[in-house]
């Protein structure tokens, strides 16, 4: 039963990737202009444009180009960048490392703190601590990330001159130097994802606390802290892991605004640069990496939920 469920979810993930590949290719096809117009400029002659399009393979029918691209993606052959003439794997390599580095640091800081604060709020519902945490997270969720980033720059970089306003990646002599150089995007992303994880953790645990078996444990006089940590938390792991997985996927694919504000050389900013130069193979590859990240993390979240909750392994 467990093996069948894993295979079924893996199949759903593969189908999702295929559907996204169709949508990504169709979306890039309807964008105005192409890389030939960007490279040759507005004064290019129709003959020159046609020759360059033939050289780049842009004159082939869209279904043929899609099948060729899909075959290359399936064999991990990312091809060449149309705008720069460089292999896409070289362009993506360093940018993907930068994005994964930033995501790993943010996850290591934000996820444990968020889970602890969410559990603390659930342990003492209605208390002053719960009201403070709930109000703070509600305010942070309501504020867009670009405003948080701008506010941090104004206060920490301009007014107090504590941190650099621009994130940079160089050879670091110490971990402290690395954290200081990336402090602004790290703080911004920690604030953004922590608020969501805290609220989801609190809401999920309190929802489980209303179950009949939890109410029976309360009537027997079992300590509330013991009930939450030993009983309620395991049944709440599924939704909590899912929201954590979604936020981790956001750290990889959804940080375009943060990377742009702090000039961070990550994968999302590379995709924006590809859109500006109409480098469609680069844009398509980045989009598929983002989709694959979501699919893999959601698959891991589902697997974790099934392992932690026997009822999910044996559905009726």
The whole-number pLDDT of residue 245 equals: 83
The whole-number pLDDT of residue 113 equals: 92
114 is in which domain, residue-wise? 2-31+78-313
Whether 66 is in a domain gets the answer no
Whether 42 is in a domain gets the answer no
Whether 58 is in a domain gets the answer no
The tokens describing 284, both together, are 């398509």
Provide the number of structural domains found in the chain.
1
The whole-number pLDDT of residue 309 equals: 63
Whether 39 is in a domain gets the answer no
What is the Cβ-side half-sphere exposure of residue 47, based on CA atoms within 13 angstroms?
0
The 10s digit of each residue's pLDDT in 236-285 is: 777 788 888 888 888 877 677 888 888 888 888 888 887 777 777 788 88
Whether 159 is in a domain gets the answer yes
The 10s digit of each residue's pLDDT in 7-34 is: 888 888 889 888 988 888 887 777 666 6
pLDDT above 70 coverage of the chain, percent = 88
DSSP 8-state symbol, 182: T
Whether 208 is in a domain gets the answer yes
Whether 300 is in a domain gets the answer yes
Averaged pLDDT for residues 180-204? 87
The 10s digit of each residue's pLDDT in 32-64 is: 666 666 666 666 677 777 777 777 667 777 788
Q: How far is CA 127 from the centre of its chain?
A: 33
pTM, two decimal places: 0.78
Whether 38 is in a domain gets the answer no
CATH number at residue 150: 1.10.3720.10
Highest mean pLDDT, choosing among 71-80, 117-126, 213-222, 300-309:
117-126
| Residues 6 or more apart whose Cβ sits within 8 Å of residue 6 | 303
Residue 316, pLDDT above cutoff 60: no
Give the integer Cα–Cα distance in Å for 277 and 300: 35
């Amino acid at each position: 039963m467990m093996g069948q469920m894993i295979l079924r979810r893996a199949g759903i993930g593969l189908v999702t990737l295929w559907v996204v590949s169709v949508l990504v290719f169709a979306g890039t096809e309807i964008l105005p202009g192409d890389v030939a117009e960007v490279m040759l400029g507005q004064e290019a002659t129709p003959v020159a444009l046609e020759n360059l399009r033939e050289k780049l393979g842009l004159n082939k029918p869209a279904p043929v180009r899609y099948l060729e691209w899909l075959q290359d993606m399936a064999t991990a052959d990312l091809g060449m960048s149309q705008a720069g003439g460089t292999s896409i794997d070289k362009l993506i390599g360093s940018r993907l490392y930068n994005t994964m580095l930033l995501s790993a640091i943010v996850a290591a800081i934000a996820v444990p703190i968020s889970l602890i604060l969410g559990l603390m709020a659930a342990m003492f519902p209605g208390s002053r601590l719960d009201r403070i945490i709930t109000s703070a997270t509600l305010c942070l969720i309501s504020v867009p990330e670009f405003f948080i980033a701008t506010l941090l720059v104004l206060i920490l970089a301009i007014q107090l001159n504590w941190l650099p306003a621009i994130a940079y990646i160089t050879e670091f002599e110490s971990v402290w130097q690395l954290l200081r150089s990336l402090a602004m995007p790290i703080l911004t992303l920690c604030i953004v994802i922590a608020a969501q994880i805290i609220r989801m953790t609190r809401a999920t645990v309190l929802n489980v606390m209303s179950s009949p078996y939890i109410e029976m444990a309360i009537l027997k006089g079992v300590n509330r802290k013991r009930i939450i940590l030993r009983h309620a938390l395991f049944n709440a792991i599924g939704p909590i892991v899912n929201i954590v997985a979604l936020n981790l996927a956001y750290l990889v694919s959804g940080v375009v605004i943060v990377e742009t504000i702090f000039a961070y050389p990550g994968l999302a900013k590379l995709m924006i640069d590809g859109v500006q130069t109409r480098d469609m193979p680069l844009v398509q590859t980045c989009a598929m990496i983002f989709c694959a990240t979501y699919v893999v993390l959601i698959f891991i979240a589902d697997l974790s939920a099934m392992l932690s909750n026997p009822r999910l392994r044996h559905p009726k």
